[in-house]
Structure 1
């Protein structure tokens, strides 16, 4: 059945093939015509863009939808600056909950506090009126928990990463996380997913890559999210992070056996596997590697055998080295070209030297990266410097160097680790704390749009072109437009960076394959 045609006219289009274009015609989910208003064909319906900018919609290449939705409605701790403020926030939030509820919060980051000392499990429980409390650190690789939650998980004391203070990492963190989130009902999870996807659509995001797995979300959570993909919300492309789990990933409807398949932890929790010890951790501590070279190799071979994309979460340089050695081992078995054809991924890729970047080029690895990591934690006086030292911190998140040698990039947020904020991410990539690693706004925008589609092997998406899917976003651009893209940075170079005052675009509408999934003012 043919759907009514819609003409969007009177705008500014990001259309490199026709820079003069001010209008486009949508028919049956595709762009049927592009050009200037005066030459526009007749249509069943006309939408006046009133000078708004139209661009390809964004793709967020790494999200956790359920966690994002719960964080949007839960206790946001990203703004607290001390242990006292954290306890006050818990006390206020818990006061509105039933006595048997679990207090779920997210986002604290002690690396930016004047006094980085954290409250212990007893103090946390006291603030929450005796309730069970689970507060994930910004990285989601560790958490503060209350004495009541520890008591509810007696097995946690023998798990790796346990600390009686209540700041738990590694296996101990997984134990308490499972217990805390076990209190969330299925209906609440579904509502959280819907909330997260609707929020993404309101930001001009038309597709997300969900990174699930046995240590992240249960199978019902994962398949339930995939079931609503594109039904009035952004499309969802799922990755299931289970070692040697290619067959299972396919059974669950995933596009890949990767995503958060952990080769290591996170820098914020000092669990990322690094080659030189953390400066602010236990003497000699280098984090933790969770897979061997042989396991990486065998997982990739499993993916090749099943014809499915594979990948790993790898942050520290030692973990990335392990992953690349595994790629080399797999290439010895099946050949480099067959391995490259899988377009396998590495998530985060935060600490990379030239040799590692060369490995990404050799094996055709897609780097799924988060520019907001540098914006929040890079540069002098921030978390990366505290953990690694300034010189090593400036080598982190080398997206500019990777882009310059042809590494395929796909940008995202890792939400709720950092907020869904696509234009903020584009600006962060253009204003990297290390000038050597900066990208042009145009290149960063491509990584956050077309790069996300290419990462799921949909190479013809993410452009405004004749015959392409009608997937785009409409923007108010308070700072103006420059050559088909919004102005994101201050004219004065001294004002550019993490605190750039230039107002970011505001989404007016998001269209996915011709269907409006978000419209300003319409709930």
Structure 2
């Protein structure tokens, strides 16, 4: 890295003719291009837009890379289409465990999802794991079932190979455990390369024993430290009573949580609800932990000054976690809890008093606007699972932001793709207009919000002198206001991470 780098004649926000100096990884000066100081290297911006780099606040790097390089079923329009894709992939890659993700039976003309009989017919005796789009259920082949002793006795097992709950977690561990180191690193590089091309300077990796394993996370962090690319900050989703804080300390992670699965997902009918699913009246989903264990976890994290995070989608799961946080507030005081900025991941259903408690306890809402774009409205998956009234009340971004709750935007990739401009625009163009964010608030949540969520923001913001030089240069002559108003998705012309060019600035 050169000692200093000057990017000149760029538009910053809505002001053209600006220049920015980077020295030793941080912003050293920002002002009019005519007053720019000397630098070791000079890059002519030619009027391009310069912004803070995006932060994707919820990612699963290995699974995303495996989807990018392997079998992606997101575009399947029917059961027969999905089966055809599995058949073609199996023929093209005839050995090893077959991994796929992204199928969604909602709207398929056959009216059902994949079964193991569908999969066996095209993969034979080969292990196969095909995650549903929400990654909280999957269909597996008979050969994979045979690799998991006792899976038939676990909650969520179905002899058709459609697995949820504990049976799904066991099958996923077996499937991803078969991925060798070479395939794993290639997948992680694919995710990081894709992020760079999209102007993403930081990834919040949400790992855990049921997601990717400590070795996977350690390898990803080592890769990020050794090779140019986006920053990777890690969270570990395991209760303190099960050793979760030990992993946080050993790996130097940003927090203890993230995908600490307190419930499941709406698409798989496993998110925990106060009122039954509209399309499955016999179930309200599942809470995975007792409240006492969550209280113990929040208490241990707060005493250690470690950020706790929780995967919560259904309103019952949200309320359970907030009850646990409230118990620790009473015990240790609000100031100790506020200092940790505990996170709620996804937060799709927000019941009474949730917003006020999150604001009062300085909690972060880590949300995915693409969920509403993909499943929201009065005719999408949310409406099918919850009914129209509850569906239109999901993902209330504006209510959270207007109350002063900090928002950080993410993708939950591979559940939805890495797409930061898409996330910003989706946060604005919410299916329920009153829930949409103002454009600049959405952009701030996709950039500065991620730094705040990681408790690492510069006091004066991401473009202040002294802030880390994580910057994206966009191939557009428009101002940021015009880009946001026009819902544009400019191409990333260059990316700096910690002042280091990781994507061409020429």
Q: Normalization by structure 1: what TM-score? A: 0.92
| Whole-Å separation in 2 of the counterparts to 1:517 and 1:296 | 40
Q: Deviations over 1:435-460 (max 9, x none)?
A: 11011110011111111001111120
| Whole-Å separation in 2 of the counterparts to 1:154 and 1:295 | 28
| Whole-Å separation in 1 of the counterparts to 2:96 and 2:387 | 41
Q: Deviations over 1:214-272 (max 9, x none)?
A: 11111111111122335411111111111112233112221111101111001111100
| Whole-Å separation in 2 of the counterparts to 1:323 and 1:31 | 39
Q: Which stretch of structure 1 is more off in the superposition, 315-324 or 503-512?
A: 503-512
The equivalent position to 1:141 in structure 2, one of 121, 136, 152, is: 136
Aligned residues: 501
Whether contact under 8 Å (2:21, 2:28) holds in the other structure is: yes
Please report how far the alpha carbon of residue 187 of structure 1 lies from its aligned counterpart in structure 2 after TM superposition: 1.8
Whether contact under 8 Å (1:293, 1:326) holds in the other structure is: yes
Which residue of structure 2 aligns with residue 444 of structure 1?
442
1:246 correspondence with 2:245:
yes
The equivalent position to 1:372 in structure 2, one of 367, 370, 373, is: 370
Equivalence map 1:55-74=2 (5 Å): 55-74=51-70
Change (3 A) 1:361 1:503: closer
| Whole-Å separation in 1 of the counterparts to 2:483 and 2:110 | 38
Q: Which stretch of structure 1 is more off in the superposition, 339-348 or 179-188?
A: 179-188
1:505 correspondence with 2:502:
no
Q: Residue 493 of structure 2: SS of its match in structure 1? A: strand
| Whole-Å separation in 1 of the counterparts to 2:232 and 2:482 | 27
Please report how far the alpha carbon of residue 51 of structure 1 lies from its aligned counterpart in structure 2 after TM superposition: 1.6
Q: CA RMSD in A?
A: 1.7
Equivalence map 1:372-391=2 (5 Å): 372-391=370-389
Q: Residue 481 of structure 1: SS of its match in structure 2? A: coil
Which residue of structure 2 aligns with residue 417 of structure 1?
415
Which residue of structure 1 aligns with residue 464 of structure 2?
465
Which residue of structure 1 aligns with residue 36 of structure 2?
40
Please report how far the alpha carbon of residue 153 of structure 1 lies from its aligned counterpart in structure 2 after TM superposition: 2.5
Q: Deviations over 1:470-502 (max 9, x none)?
A: 21000023xx634x3452455xxxxxxxxxxx5
Q: Deviations over 1:1-22 (max 9, x none)?
A: x93322211211127xxx4552
Please report how far the alpha carbon of residue 213 of structure 1 lies from its aligned counterpart in structure 2 after TM superposition: 0.9
Whether contact under 8 Å (1:20, 1:35) holds in the other structure is: no
Change (3 A) 1:43 1:360: same
| Structure 2 runs not aligned, ≥5 long | none
Which residue of structure 2 aligns with residue 317 of structure 1?
315
Where does structure 1 differ by over 4 angstroms across 4 or more consecutive aligned residues? none
Which residue of structure 1 aligns with residue 361 of structure 2?
363
Change (3 A) 1:34 1:503: closer
Whether contact under 8 Å (1:53, 1:476) holds in the other structure is: yes
1:296 correspondence with 2:301:
no
| Whole-Å separation in 2 of the counterparts to 1:388 and 1:102 | 35
Q: Residue 229 of structure 2: SS of its match in structure 1? A: coil
Please report how far the alpha carbon of residue 50 of structure 1 lies from its aligned counterpart in structure 2 after TM superposition: 1.6
Q: Residue 473 of structure 2: SS of its match in structure 1? A: strand
Change (3 A) 1:243 1:220: same
Q: Which stretch of structure 1 is more off in the superposition, 110-119 or 270-279?
A: 110-119
Please report how far the alpha carbon of residue 306 of structure 1 lies from its aligned counterpart in structure 2 after TM superposition: 1.6
| Whole-Å separation in 2 of the counterparts to 1:129 and 1:198 | 34
| Whole-Å separation in 2 of the counterparts to 1:152 and 1:229 | 33
The equivalent position to 1:119 in structure 2, one of 99, 114, 117, is: 114
| Whole-Å separation in 2 of the counterparts to 1:241 and 1:130 | 33
| Whole-Å separation in 2 of the counterparts to 1:248 and 1:119 | 36
Q: Deviations over 1:187-229 (max 9, x none)?
A: 2112211211121111111111111111111111111112233
Change (3 A) 1:186 1:141: same
Which residue of structure 2 aligns with residue 49 of structure 1?
45
Equivalence map 1:45-194=2 (5 Å): 45-98=41-94, 100-194=95-189
Q: Which stretch of structure 1 is more off in the superposition, 56-65 or 459-468?
A: 459-468
Which residue of structure 2 aligns with residue 476 of structure 1?
475
| Whole-Å separation in 2 of the counterparts to 1:112 and 1:351 | 23
1:30 correspondence with 2:30:
no
Whether contact under 8 Å (1:162, 1:168) holds in the other structure is: yes
Whether contact under 8 Å (2:17, 2:47) holds in the other structure is: no
Whether contact under 8 Å (2:369, 2:424) holds in the other structure is: yes
Q: Which stretch of structure 1 is more off in the superposition, 374-383 or 142-151?
A: 142-151
| Whole-Å separation in 2 of the counterparts to 1:20 and 1:503 | 18
Please report how far the alpha carbon of residue 299 of structure 1 lies from its aligned counterpart in structure 2 after TM superposition: 0.5
Which residue of structure 2 aligns with residue 396 of structure 1?
394
| Structure 1 runs not aligned, ≥5 long | 491-501
Whether contact under 8 Å (1:264, 1:316) holds in the other structure is: yes
Q: Which stretch of structure 1 is more off in the superposition, 198-207 or 122-131?
A: 122-131
Q: Residue 113 of structure 1: SS of its match in structure 2? A: coil
The equivalent position to 2:433 in structure 1, one of 418, 435, 440, is: 435
| Whole-Å separation in 1 of the counterparts to 2:37 and 2:264 | 55
Q: Normalization by structure 2: what TM-score? A: 0.95
| Whole-Å separation in 1 of the counterparts to 2:255 and 2:39 | 40
Q: Deviations over 1:92-140 (max 9, x none)?
A: 1100123x42211110111132333123212211122442211101111
| Whole-Å separation in 1 of the counterparts to 2:247 and 2:147 | 31
Q: Residue 353 of structure 2: SS of its match in structure 1? A: helix
| Whole-Å separation in 1 of the counterparts to 2:273 and 2:248 | 29
